[in-house]
Amino acid sequence: MNGSALLNIGIFGVFVAATLVVVIRASRNTKTAADYLAAGRAFTGPQNGIAIAGDYLSAASFLGIAGAIALNGYDGFLYSIGFLVAWLIALLLVAELLRNTGKYTMGDVLSFRMRQRPVRAAAATSTMAVSFFYLLAQMAGAGGLVALLLGITGKLGQAIVIAVVGALMIAYVLIGGMKGTTWVQIIKAVLLIIGAGVMTLWVLGKYGMNLSSLLGAAVDNAPKAGEKLLGPGLAYGKDGTTKLDFLSLALALVLGTAGLPHILMRFYTVPTAKEARRSVVWAIWLIGLFYLFTLVLGYGAAALVGADKISKAPGGPNSAAPLLAEALGGPLLLGLIAAVAFATILAVVAGLTITASASFAHDIYANIIKKGEAEDKDAEVKVARRTAIVIGIVSILGGIAANGQNIAFLVALAFAVAASANLPTILYSLFWKRFNTSGALWSIYGGLAVTITLIVLSPAVSGTPKSMFKDVDFSLFPLSNPGIVSIPVAFLLGYIGTVLSKEDDKEKYAEMEVRALTGVGAEKASVH
Amino acid sequence: MSTSEQHTPDAPGDHVWVDVQNSPDFVELRRRLRSFVFPMAGLFLAWYVAYVLLADYAHGFMSTKVVGNINVGLILGLLQFVSTFVITTLYVRHANKNLDPLAEKLRNELEGGQA
């Protein structure tokens, strides 16, 4: 370990200490289930919007997209566009209606007018599946980041760091609950956006604030890609299959966001639907701004660091942004950006853990095992805390096992599952009068099964040198991302399942629709 | 199975919901919401898919330079950002002006005397 590694650890240590203080202070007023799982619904729209940006701008989107742009140019930029445009679905169709009809989890909304137990079990299953793939991606990313930033290249050393990151995250969730986790997200989002903003201005400053000159310099420093860096096709333009794969990915990105349980859960932390709307508006502006920064950072890394050095660095493409920081501001800026990247992983993992544990405690324990009769809300919080510990340990072990796996692949998997299993069910549930229990089960389980089957049979898992299993080949499905098939199939299954069942509760739909649109009887903020 | 555990105790009974759902004010609120969000969602999805298809299958067109090293693809990509920001702003304006007052009126009528 060298001097700059110590500096990185030092800066990260300051972040951890500062956020722990905030988390402990935030936990003082955490008493009820609504406090623990939904932060007492007391955050303002802008605060929650910043926290949403914090949840959304994970290590995969900060390090991953900057790296993808540095190496693949324009094709990397396409990711950011899908990730951003996706928010319009959340804004127009989901956020406010969800806030008005639910309490803590996605299952609240999906089961509102259905038979509670089977639909809650299904919603909890897909919440866990999405959160688990997302968690795995973040933890696996931590390993590569450690290698780059602390110079720890041994698998054992990396495993220890993953365990430390996991343990810290469990501490945040146990102590702070949703409120503490939200504050960690807010602090991290502010640091990340300021850090990226400063680097963006710095890079542009080197080229006379002229984007065109920066692009020119990136092309000059990329002998292999050359002019192709500026146009589409470098990563996905090889043949018909890769082009179709790109279309499939683009669909999963744009339809997945509004089905991510850890994002949906954030809408319950504000007092009203109007604040939920304001949160999304803040999130859209911040996320959009951030992706504009990554465009400059990606091409900046191509121009100032060079594709060769980035590919050869430990961590590969993910090292583009940290290496750019080093090229600009030396070890100190590298340390700051590295600490922010660590903080990103920590905060996102904490957000995912609380989502998965909330779903278990609320959907499975309180509503299925206790049949909704658990008047003792303390028990729900206790179960959520215990589940968080279990999920934390599982994700540490999973992260150690998945260390070195392709992060972007795991994240795309989470988006594909969210877009196929969750989004159709949410939209049908909110807007289709006839939709019923059978339809919900068909679209959730069907979407989940189709997505996971196609992924297992994809070239991402077997048959190519880049696959998870290189030596066997059972890749019957040609695309790495299943979205283009699994999303329409899930919508279709939801339709078929619905019309096959006679269940048609018009009164319950009337109640749900009136509540969703007017906010009557919506959960209020708790007063302390 | 009852779902009453997730409802607030002052919520009106089942028959009231259907009456409200059929009331002119509520029908108008639903019309104002759906007539904005459905076409808008269709519009931005169509524009996004058109953009993705161009990026996927029209490399030559997208790589055409416009000013300096700025090409058509980059401009269209940045326009996706612009359209997202514009739609967001339009929706907020629509909701504040046309949805919120009516929703509030209905909410007050339903919760009247209890809130």
DSSP string of A337-369, one letter each residue? HHHHHHHHHHHHHHHHHHHHHHHIIIIIIIIII
Report the distance separating Cα B7 and Cα A292, nearest Å.
43
Look at residue A477 and give its three-state secondary structure: coil
Q: Closest residue of A to B89, CA-based?
A: A281
Burial of A456 (0-12, 13-18, 19+ CB in 10 A): middle
- Inter-chain CB proximity B48 and A254 less than 8 Å: yes
Q: Closest residue of B to A228, CA-based?
A: B63
Q: What is the ipTM of this complex?
A: 0.91
- Inter-chain CB proximity A219 and B69 less than 8 Å: yes
pLDDT tens-place values along chain A, 528 residues long: 456 778 778 888 888 888 888 888 888 877 788 888 888 888 999 999 999 999 899 877 788 889 999 999 998 899 899 999 999 999 999 999 999 998 889 999 999 999 989 999 999 999 999 998 888 888 877 777 776 777 777 778 888 888 888 888 888 888 888 888 888 899 999 999 999 999 999 999 999 999 999 999 999 998 888 888 998 988 888 888 889 999 999 999 999 999 999 999 999 999 999 999 999 999 999 999 999 999 999 999 999 999 989 888 877 788 899 899 999 998 888 888 888 888 888 888 888 888 988 888 888 888 888 877 655 667 888 888 998 999 889 888 888 887 766 676 778 788 999 999 999 999 999 999 999 999 999 999 999 999 999 988 988 888 777 777 778 888 889 988 899 999 999 999 999 999 999 998 888 999 999 999 999 888 887 765
For residue A210, list chain B residues with Cβ-Cβ distance below 8 A. 68
Report the distance separating Cα A111 and Cα A371, nearest Å.
13
Q: Which of residues 89-108 of B touch A (CB under 8 A)?
A: 91-92, 95, 100, 103, 106-107
For residue A517, list chain B residues with Cβ-Cβ distance below 8 A. 26, 29-30, 33, 103, 106
B10 in contact with A at a CB cutoff of 8 Å? Answer: yes
Interface size A-B, in CB pairs within 8 Å, comes to 172
Helix A273-304 and helix A65-72: axis angle, to 10°?
A: 40
B41 in contact with A at a CB cutoff of 8 Å? Answer: yes
Report the distance separating Cα A317 and Cα A319, nearest Å.
5
